[in-house]
Structure 1
Amino acid sequence: MQQRRWLHTKQLKNMIQVQRRWLLVLRGWYAKHSLAKLILTLVVSVIVVRSLPYLAPIRAVYLVQDQQAIEFTDRNGLPLGTVLTRDQEHTVTVPLKQVSPHFIQAIVAAEDRRFYQHGALDGWAIGRAMLEALQARQIVSGASTITMQLARMLEPSPRTLPEKLKEIWLSWRLTAGMSKDEILQAYINRLPMGGNIYGVEAAARIYFGIPASDLNVAQASVLAAIPNDPNHLNPYDHWEALKRRQTYVLDRMTQDRYLSRAEADRAWQEELSLQRRQQGIVAAPHFLFWLADQRSTHPAQVQTTIDLPLQQFAEAQVQQMIQALAPHNVHHAAALVLDNRSGDVLAYVGSPDYFADAQKGRNDGVQALRQPGSTLKPFLYELALERRVIRPNTILADIPTRYAIPGAQLYTPSDYSETFQGPVRVRVALANSLNVPAVRVLEKVSVQAFLDRLHQLGFTHLTQTADHYGLGLALGGGEVSLWELARAYLVLANQGQPVALRGMREAEGRRQEAEGRKQKAKGRRQAERKTQNAKLLIPYAPSSIPHASSSTWSLITDMLNDPHARAKAFGVDSLLSLPFPAAVKTGTSSDFRDTWTIGFTRDYTVAVWVGNFDGAPMRQVSGITGAAPLWNRIMLHLHEQREPSAFPAPSGLVKRPICALSGARPTPACPSVVQEYFEPQALGEYDRQPDPFYQAVATSKGQREYRLKLPPEYNEWLAMQPLIPTATDGLRILSPRNGDVFLLEPGATDSAQRLQFKLASPSNQTVEWLLNGQPLATQTPGSIFWVPKPGRWTLQVKTGDRSDRVSFEVQMAETRSTRKGFSVAQ
């Protein structure tokens, strides 16, 4: 290398001395003749310009491509595939001597037949191109040499005159520093070969399954045809067009006497079989490219955390679900499966088919930024409970609410159903994903505090200010990735403790660290960089949350695990209800552009997104109909062999009965009683505070009865409710409602479990109550209290020729994986 530098320096000095002599000879002419001055100026300018590239030559060593193929295996050593380099591009470099002579002849004949005879530019080709352009009055053919094409690959730029001059300058520098073979080697290793495939070696392996050294004439001529238009000559999608271009390549090879006519005809007629599109990747292509992109060094083998059978199952389910939802304009989905204890990535599906370029398959739905809908609400309620802005028994008003936004119209949040539920418990508001209560809670917590918490949870893409997001942050304003959501729910699954996600097996990470330490002798800076890159488990992990209490995180888990709490919106036996404990939350962004379902058991976290990469809205597809079916299938598959254990009860909290409507200690007037958690220090207030909704009043007969009186803030909502028919319109049972499901806690006293049967409007006539056909004794015609028993019941009321009937069910709480207590499933 030093000898070559010395020779180059000596040649440069000799050239400069010759130029000086010429300048001395021409100086006399310059003083006598003006024409000579002009000619001399031009000659000097040309000499200077052509000499400059030799002052800044580009050497072959500068263009070395150090990417190497990486063989990936799953957690058990099963092959996942080979990625030829990072950045989602398939490429691998080979020396020129390891490329078939047939390909070298074919590419030279097709792209630059006089490559070895001219310099950086081909004057003959330029003259021919200009003559053809003048005759046709348009550009007919180009004059770019292989050297110029290499320059364009190194520095892509628009086809403008200034950029063309830059391209010529770079070509001169390449010629000044490299031999013809070195230029050709750099060129064929960078050739665009269709899709994300670059270089002849990668193309030979992917399309034909052989190294570039084994290409025959037919294969070589096909590959040499692709760089002319890689997008429209892709072998998988445009075979006929590629065969036509192959004819051109074979004709040029015949003209240059690389082949006889008969050999060219045989090559064209030879049947070539292409490998499948999988391009050497068995499973998890998005994950493999993503993992490779996180490293600046490329070890030959990497053992990942992926579970191959689970990965293949998830990929198949994604494809099946997209086929089923296609009539609803749904074309893409992504799924992520994590191990809760280790943080291992067990399955990673970025799209239905990575290799379907026409369907945008290379887009990675796990890392793509989308609006999260209601999936952030659990973290808002946890923060509010942690800061005691709300308590588990707090009643939130789901009523028409308006917020004045400076410089904008009034902000009026509404629910997915576009209805309002009135007074609701925190548990019900979260489980049913009610929007107005969430916005009210965010207003109390403050947008900045919630944004800070989301940053602690690892939502790094929420980079705008709190004022930018506003109260809409509670409903999914902003963009996050499925990766970030899954990582945050992993914190929730671990009761507030952050867990770093891992893409490689821990042993692999330690091995790479050891290799990094061994390199210290070669230079401390290089070794530190290698060690840092080798430590890759995940580029970012959630930070620890100050003053985190496991009880509030466990309480949110308990709410998300409660099928009866979400029954109002989803029903008791929806796809979210599994035969084992599982906490889950859905989300739907505006205009049905994104649907999410994210949930976890004690063992696994599963996150699913369904939508369209181009943002096109789906047709009436929500989280429960879009993403939930896929989430359900993966969860059931994960627990086929062993059901997960139950979630731990919130530590330090105790249960007490509350009135479902008011959240206070129940009175005899409360028609529905449920169990809810309390902090021990809040029990004193629970015992002392009277029910704010059911107020005791004295009747004209001196008796005391309870009347429901909601606060004034509910007046507008009450006015929106349909009128209850009076007795003259017919009898109507107000409570229970038809289809209600009640939970019965074993061992509780009868007084805490009474169920009120109530008419909408009492009648002065005698009323007969029948339960499953059996008469019930009653002292007042308008209501009756009944001690519930498990079973399916039909309640009927009669007076004269009028009657009403409802059916309801009472279940033992322990028969379902849910909280204990007696409640109406709302």
Structure 2
Amino acid sequence: MISGRPMSIRLRAVLRRLLRWSAVASLLLAAVCLIALLVLVAAVRWVPFDAKSLESPETSSFLFDRNGRPLRAFLGTDEQWRVPVHLDEVSTHVVNAIVAVEDKRFFTHWGVDPVAILRASLSNLRGGRIISGASTITMQVVGLSASRERTLGRKLRQAFRALQAERVLSKQRILELYLTYAPYGGNICGIEAAAQRYFGKSAAALTLDEATLLAGIPQSPARLRPDRFPKAALARRNTVLIRMLEDDKITLPEYDRALTRHPLVGSHDAPGLAPHFTDLVHEAYPRMTRIRTTLDLEVQQRAEALVAEAVRSNAAFGVTNGAAVVLQNDTGEVLAMVGSADYTAVSTQGQVNGATSPRSPGSALKPLLYALAFSEGAALPDTRLLDVPTFYGGYHPENFDHACQGLVSADKAMAWSLNIPAIELLQSTGLNRAVSFMRNAGLATLDKPAGEYGLSLALGTCGVTLLDLAGAYAMLARGGDALAPKVMIEGTRITRPEPARLTTQTMSIRSSSIASPPRHLLSPQAAYFALRALADATLRPPEEVALALKDMEGIAWKTGTSSGFRDAWTIACTRTHTTAVWLGNFDGRPSPGITGARAAAPPALTMAVWLQNHRETRDPRWPRNPGGITHINVCAVTGAPSSPDCPTTRSVMAIANAARLPVSCRIHQRMSIDTATSQVLCPRCAEGHACEEKVFAVWPARVSQWFRDHQIEENAPPPHFSGCATRAGLVAPRIVSPTNGDAFLVQPGRPAEAQKIALRAVAPAAGSLLYWFLDGQLIASVTPGTDAFLILQPGSHRLRCADDLGRADEVAFNVTAE
């Protein structure tokens, strides 16, 4: 016993030393762990971390009509289906299922789950292989943007970045990133794309059995795709349901019901409706993920059917394509846009958007010019415009039917699409002012200096788009207030807007989504005058109105036909909608025989009537008087405000308190007539003569000639008193080339332009214009001192030159063919 006591003492000493070393080692280990923890905390805090690196700028776009019906979807530029979502856009079943199966302690850990790590480590040690992982949802989110190799180093980096992410992002945002970028098989990323692809519905509409089926896929997307491996996907779904039951996210009855259901999985391709419209919207907003557009799918489909039928009906004339636009007047919203008869047709360039391609509008442009003239006092609806042969330098415009009407009211001239009065009105309004007004009305393609368009602008020889022209007519329907056409409903969420290269049209479309007040361009009264004329069937030429359309009410419409029968247009406005239709060929080939009235009016007016019956309350008395209109007395002959010399007057509408009115009638003039000679006396020659007062009509020479040609009484004044010394000093024009009796020889083989002669007259420079008439027909009007030119034609001819006062000279000459 004595010998054993020292042994016991030594053992106790050893144990004490071991305990001291253990304590020291524990303290050192604790210190190391504390230091490591502090270093980790500092690193998490100070090592740079860009939360935006977890997001991809490449997103898919889903477009819907105004009522939420899907129209079309676009892949991201990386060829992935990916739609960013917010939690309020996802079914709660989805969130509960993902948290239950992927990371049950997601809402309590800091990005790394120590309990899950310990559990996974023990399972893997017991199994001798990797059986389960410990990745949290946060770790998966940061891992989606990193390399995919399976190494310990990657896992450690992933855990570190997860801690950093949790410091700067909310749990809600981390879940949203997971729901956006998690893989669901193939090129499908995120819950929204998966819901649309597999079930044809949004993630917000997923049922419990559908949500759990999708929640299980990210574990192994290639192995659990429900469209390819339904049994494996269902087995995984059942696992998700069990986890949700264990976590009290569902009740036992809900679990039992879901377990018995087999979701109907399909391969739902994205719709391809309204392709030209959706192309335009996507080009304008390439980074918007979900867009509720202004389009009304029912109106769109109706418009598509009408365009297709119109193209078939006019195929015999060589028409291969058409386009249509329907706008809501009060907002400028595009309810329908048809870009071609068949988007898929390669032979007819079907993917070209005819609604946004500039074409020549012909007479469809004229109502804008007339409305401007009414607003600025250049004309009244009843003002008589001169529709007689006219030359503007070397420019000789003609009407569509090559005939003239003489004196015609402004409203009728617009309804009849007369060219010569429109040019006269453009001259009085001013070319620069007209171009500026049309640009402000939305015709963005009028981007050249005004002088490059010239007076032929009144005939629609420029290029405008159907969408822009429809917007300009909608401006009239709004009473003169301009709004850009709008394609997107407000409130649609935008993610990282990074616009692509934009065209003029898409720039206009983008600007229309920015709330801004309308631009006031015209008085409501001027817009009313223009629409009233277009809605009055009694003003139209009889051949333009089909029998089936004669009884239309509450529709103001205008046709247009471009030069060479290349474009046929009709724009029709009702109280609440504007419909525009174009027919023609994208390659510019003419379609002989087509006109706006024959080809484009039937579909446009049919659409307008359909809208009256299905989308608005018909107002047969539209357009309605907006107020602010008075009545004034005008000359019954000229339609100008009456002067004391006008023999008869009548009362017509005019804008009340207008800053400017057309000049008073200058045609009717009171003159003193010598009772002995019946000649006109001026104050200098009236002395000693018995005279009486009479009123005569003093028309420009070109109008007088037209009256004479058509045997219309013009009430022209008699000649001036021949003995007047003052009048004797006024020299009449004298023709110096050609001379009376000249003979000319033309050669049939030579170009006509090479066989023309100069027409030259000597006249006082004070005169305003000289009018040249060949065989009674006006052929040119020039200023004194300027030559006109005549292409010779065989025959005997009489040439007359007259000035504004009616003084004239006349010669005869002969032309023979060699």
TM-score by length of 2: 0.50
